[in-house]
Every structure is written in C-alpha cells, then in structure tokens.
Amino acid sequence: MKNEESKLQSACVQWFRLQYPSVARLLFAIPNGGNRNAATGAILKREGVVPGVADLMLAIPNRGEMGMFIEMKTPTGRQSRSQAQFMLAVSEQGYRYRIVRTLDEFIETIKEYMA
C-alpha cells in the first residue's frame, strides 16, 4: 500500500475505533499488499493470500448484507483488475464493497452502513 493510502487507512481505523468502541475489533485490515521477497510471497500464497482483496473488512452484517469490504485509494488511485474482480465476487455473495478516498468519505460510508 502506498504511504498516502496507509495514512488514510490509519486515520479511518482510528476514527472507527473511537466512534464504535464496542465493535472496534470487527473492522480489521487485510495486509494483502506490499513488497515481499519471493520466499515470503510463496509462503503467503500457500497460506491463502489472494490478489485484489480489499484493505479493510467490516465484519458486521446489516440490512441483508453480510459485511463490508473497503478499498483505500488516493484521489487519483484506480482499482487493479484483481481488485475489480474481487469486488464483483464479494458483491455477488452479499457483501457491500466501497472504495474510499478520504476520511470524510469513510465517515459517511460507515455512518450510512451502521445506521
């Protein structure tokens, strides 16, 4: 994850934990990206790492949806092909999927989902 996306994600997670302390553990990161050596990459692949999985998962079902996956992007960032494929796959299974580019957008997304 790029440093700008990392800072955004950190701010979003911090806000969520302050606003929803009783369910703070149900929003968690999926550390799927980053540069790794070949040996570590092979181990992670055997352990089940899948390209394109979103950055965050909110494991709270709501209004018929199973939970929500959140992909962090910079204002000009674009989904990779594997991210778009993941989005379609989880949407078909009843999960919400959102791309978030700012803290305000994250807050709005979470408030709407949790309402």
**pLDDT given for residue 37 in this prediction:** 83
pTM of the predicted model over 0.85: yes
Task: Return averaged pLDDT per consecutive 10 residues of the chain, 115 residues in all.
Answer: 87 98 97 79 86 96 96 95 98 98 98 97
Q: What domains appear along the chain, each with residue ranges and CATH number?
A: 3-114 (3.40.1350.10)
The predicted pLDDT at position 32 comes to 80
Predicted confidence at residue 45, as pLDDT, reads: 85
Burial class (CB in 10 A: 0-12, 13-18, 19+), 94: exposed
Please tell me the predicted confidence (pLDDT) of residue 35. 72
Rounded to 10°, the helix 3-19/103-114 angle is: 40
pLDDT at residue 19, as a whole number:
98
